[in-house]
């Protein structure tokens, strides 16, 4: 009897534990430190802990790196130099609109080396809505909880008459003003790494709940006691307090890209609220956004990885608009320096995020992307081009014209309420022009492409095959959008024809994409393992699959589906050979492929991330199921080294979110999602239209990764794709899983 009772109790505990994992607040599963154990030579995400609201204008992060270092926080660091307001989308793009604050005790040494304090992850709490750290050298605990444009800070000091608070406005031109009677510091910072016009400033205001017992300003390294204003290359403000042990100093801070007055208006996001109230509101907002997707699993690490990825998927593109006195959106334009009405978003590279990040928004968070599309209208009106990489304005980075995909996918999937006709003008203009000073915006080499059907290898335009393949796909997206808008056959004909231009750079001799010279001959010598050169951060084995819109046509070029599948197989079967001579050193993306033990599959970079799902098109979906699980099991975790390459503004995370649900948008601009291998026992996607997608996977575990049978709403479902219209109707989809592939 005792044995039976024990077994029954064990079963009940297992069921309770399983459902406990599903019913807790989703934000509690998020680890913002995932991906922070990175360096320039090897990326495990190249992330920093973004303490922010979803799509917030301002992020906050502990700063372990030196001022101006793109690796602002690294997990292996020992010291914190400050709590930094950041707008950095990646270490490679670096930051703008940045300044730091730091509580200090005892010494009047306020440069970043002198004020830095040892810390431990054991005395650090990092959540999306709240950060806390013990600064050991100062015996101080610092806490921060943000809103979109403001934040509340709480500093717990020891007993001392030398408690200080430093505001570091950074170099390259900054200003601070201390107003003791108002317990306030105001100022601005201009430090940025590009993408801004002349006159750019980030204005900030800090308001304290304690009188100042000390004031001083630092002007280019020199501290002046009693000074209240500093405007120079590198300005800092320092205020002091007499504190008892455990006494808390509260600081409310906000900033604006528009003006000091707007910064004060943004401060209203936290005015009249206690620290704990701001913290509770942030927690509620994160639970609301993350809770749009509910997943159940008896492996808590799976939940941690999933929600950490979902957290990264809803940070960028960030809000770049503010609210005027009437609550209307206004923005400082990084394109022309004017303050204008309307929405604007920034800090994303479409080369990365068109693939799955924007499709995730279109399915789960369409209302926010409708605002982003309205922001793209403004970006086009203010600069003459849609951005391809924005931070905060146009940045010269990556290739392709993938704004066309971002615009087309949103409209085709039903998003409305913005000026689509202006966006139509924008995508057709961008397909036939290049920005006069930012060559990655528009289409570099468009004249060759439009005349020859490809960008030649030998005309001085690097990464020519990558450009050709992406332009062809983007032309297909423009064509699909034009069909939806009812444009004439005459207007659409060029885009319909150019969508097939991928064929122009396919080499039948090797069965791979290959650089082609202006005279029509293919480049020689040709090494399919050579990274860069004709490709972008990848090689021919990676980029050959960038025919998102016509896998069947690619298979025909290869000689049929048997050869197509053999080529897909080869990516995993080949050793991780590489030729890095184009770069002159082994770039981190190459190293990440080399060490993952998946052959020449390079999931750490974007070009090949959709490739696994191509098995669905070619009659071998069980291989997609196998490899999707391998990637999720082996290349993602909720640890500090939890990615296998750059996370890249939500793209690599959104791949995981979609794949864990069991389907993936191989071709944005179409309405299809290809089926992989659902990761969870139960997943529910709560849509904005009030419907819920319910996905159940019976017998689902590490060994049972293969789909045996699918039903939709109780009826057998024979396809290995799902339609967008099916999903937004809120279907119930049941997968029966097993340990053997169904061929």
**Average pLDDT of adjacent 10-residue blocks, the chain of 743 residues:** 47 44 81 97 98 98 97 98 98 97 95 98 98 98 98 98 98 98 98 95 98 98 98 98 97 98 98 98 98 95 98 98 98 98 98 98 98 98 98 97 98 98 98 97 98 98 98 98 98 98 98 98 98 98 98 98 98 98 97 98 97 98 98 98 97 98 98 98 98 96 96 97 98 98 94
Which burial class, exposed, middle or buried, applies to 583 when counting CB atoms under 10 A from its CB (0-12, 13-18, 19+)?
middle
- What are the start and end residues of each CATH 2.70.98.10 domain in the chain? 26-290
Its sign, for the CA torsion 526, 528, 532, 534, is positive
| Nearby residues of 156 by Cβ (< 8 Å), 6 or more positions away | 140, 141, 142, 143, 246, 247, 248
CA angle 13, 16, 18 (to 5 degrees): 105
Q: Answer whether 737's CB lies under 8 Å from 628's CB.
A: no
Cα distances from 337 to residues 132, 333, 474, in angstroms, run 36, 5, 30
Q: What is the per-residue pLDDT for 4?
A: 53
Q: Answer whether 180's CB lies under 8 Å from 227's CB.
A: no
Its sign, for the CA torsion 268, 269, 275, 276, is positive
- What are the start and end residues of each CATH 1.20.1610.10 domain in the chain? 292-738
Q: What is the per-residue pLDDT for 456?
A: 98
**320 vs 258: CA distance, rounded Å:** 11
- Give the count of alpha carbons within 13 A of 159, CB side only: 2
> What is the model's pTM?
0.96
Alpha helices in 179-274 (DSSP H): 260-266
Q: What's the 3-state SS for 293-332? A: EEEECCCHHHHHHHHHHHHHHCCCCEECCEECCCCCEEEE
CATH number of 292-738: 1.20.1610.10
CATH architecture, domain 26-290:
Distorted Sandwich (2.70)
What is the four-CA torsion angle of 23, 310, 657, 628, rounded to 10 degrees? -100
Q: What is the per-residue pLDDT for 584?
A: 97
DSSP state, residue 197:
-
**119 vs 138: CA distance, rounded Å:** 10
Nearest 5°: phi and psi at 364?
-100, -35
Nearest 5°: phi and psi at 376?
-65, -35
Per-residue DSSP letters for 155-195?
A: EE--SEEEEEEEEE--SSSEEEEEEGGGTEEEEEE--BSSS
Q: What is the per-residue pLDDT for 24?
A: 74
Q: What is the per-residue pLDDT for 664?
A: 98
Segment (H or E) for 473: helix 464-485
CA angle 295, 680, 616 (to 5 degrees): 125
Strand-pair category, 706-712 with 732-738: antiparallel
Q: What is the per-residue pLDDT for 18?
A: 42
């Amino acid at each position: 009897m005792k044995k039976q009772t024990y077994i029954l109790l064990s079963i009940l505990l297992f069921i309770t534990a399983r459902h406990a994992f599903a019913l807790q607040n989703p934000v509690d599963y998020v680890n913002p430190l995932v991906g922070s154990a990175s360096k320039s030579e090897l990326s495990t995400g190249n992330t920093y802990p973004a303490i922010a609201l979803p799509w917030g204008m301002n992020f906050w992060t502990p700063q372990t790196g030196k001022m101006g270092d793109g690796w602002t926080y690294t997990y292996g660091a020992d010291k914190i130099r400050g709590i930094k307001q950041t707008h950095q989308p990646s270490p490679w793009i670096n930051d703008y609109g940045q300044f730091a604050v730091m509580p200090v005790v005892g010494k009047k040494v306020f440069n970043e080396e002198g004020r830095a304090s040892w810390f431990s992850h054991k005395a650090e709490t990092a959540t999306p809505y709240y950060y806390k750290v013990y600064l050991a050298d100062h015996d101080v605990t610092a806490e921060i909880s943000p809103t979109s444009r403001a934040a509340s800070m709480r500093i717990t000091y020891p007993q001392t008459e030398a408690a200080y608070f430093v505001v570091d406005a950074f170099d390259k031109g900054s200003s601070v003003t201390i107003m003791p009677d108002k317990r306030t510091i105001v100022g601005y910072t201009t430090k940025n790494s590009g993408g801004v016009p002349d006159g750019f400033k980030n204005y900030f205001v800090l308001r304290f709940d304690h009188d100042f017992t000390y004031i001083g300003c630092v002007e280019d390294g020199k501290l002046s006691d009693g000074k209240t204003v500093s405007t120079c290359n590198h300005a800092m403000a320092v205020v002091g307090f007499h504190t008892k042990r455990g006494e808390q100093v509260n600081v409310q801070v906000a900033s604006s890209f528009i003006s000091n007055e707007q910064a004060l208006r943004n401060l209203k996001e936290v005015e009249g609220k206690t620290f704990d109230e701001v913290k509770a509101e942030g927690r509620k907002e994160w639970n609301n956004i993350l809770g749009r997707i509910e997943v159940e699993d008896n492996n808590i690490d799976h939940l941690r990885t999933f929600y950490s990825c979902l957290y990264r998927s809803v940070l960028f593109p960030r809000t770049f608009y503010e609210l005027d006195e009437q609550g209307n959106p206004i923005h400082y334009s990084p394109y022309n320096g004017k303050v204008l009405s309307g929405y604007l978003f920034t800090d994303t590279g479409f080369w990365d995020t068109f693939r799955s990040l924007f499709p995730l928004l279109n399915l789960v968070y369409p209302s926010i992307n409708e605002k982003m599309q309205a922001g793209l209208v403004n970006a086009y009106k203010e600069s003459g081009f849609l951005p391809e990489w924005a931070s905060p304005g146009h940045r010269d980075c990556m290739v392709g014209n993938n704004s066309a995909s971002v615009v087309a996918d949103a409209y085709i999937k039903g998003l409305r309420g913005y000026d689509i006709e202006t966006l139509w003008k924008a995508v057709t203009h961008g397909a036939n022009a290049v920005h006069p000073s930012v060559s990655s915006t528009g289409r570099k080499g468009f004249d060759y492409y439009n005349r020859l059907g490809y960008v030649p290898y030998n005309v001085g335009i690097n990464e020519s095959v990558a450009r050709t393949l992406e332009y062809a796909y983007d032309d297909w997206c423009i064509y699909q959008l034009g069909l939806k808008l009812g444009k004439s056959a005459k207007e659409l004909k060029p885009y319909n024809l150019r969508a097939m231009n991928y064929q122009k750079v396919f080499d039948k001799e090797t069965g791979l994409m290959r650089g082609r010279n202006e005279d029509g001959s293919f480049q020689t010598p040709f090494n399919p393992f050579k990274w860069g050169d004709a490709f972008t951060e990848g090689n021919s084995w990676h980029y050959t699959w960038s025919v998102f819109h016509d896998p069947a046509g690619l298979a025909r070029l290869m000689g049929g589906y048997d050869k197509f599948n053999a080529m897909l197989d080869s990516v995993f079967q080949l050793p991780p050979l590489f030729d890095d001579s184009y770069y002159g050193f082994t770039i981190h993306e190459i190293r990440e492929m080399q060490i993952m033990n998946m052959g020449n599959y390079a999931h750490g970079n974007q070009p090949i991330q959709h490739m696994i799902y191509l098995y669905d098109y070619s009659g071998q979906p069980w291989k997609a199921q196998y490899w999707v699980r391998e990637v999720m099991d082996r290349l993602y975790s909720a640890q500090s080294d939890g990615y296998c390459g750059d996370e890249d503004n939500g793209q690599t995370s959104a791949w995981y979110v979609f794949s864990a649900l069991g389907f993936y948008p191989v071709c944005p601009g179409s309405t299809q999602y290809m089926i992989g291998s659902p990761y969870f026992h139960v997943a529910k996607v709560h849509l904005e239209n009030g419907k819920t997608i319910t996905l159940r996977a019976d017998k689902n575990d590490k060994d049972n990764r293969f789909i045996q049978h699918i039903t939709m709403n109780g009826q057998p479902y024979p396809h290995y794709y799902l339609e967008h219209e099916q999903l937004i109707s809120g279907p119930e989809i049941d997968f029966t899983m097993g340990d053997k592939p169904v061929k």
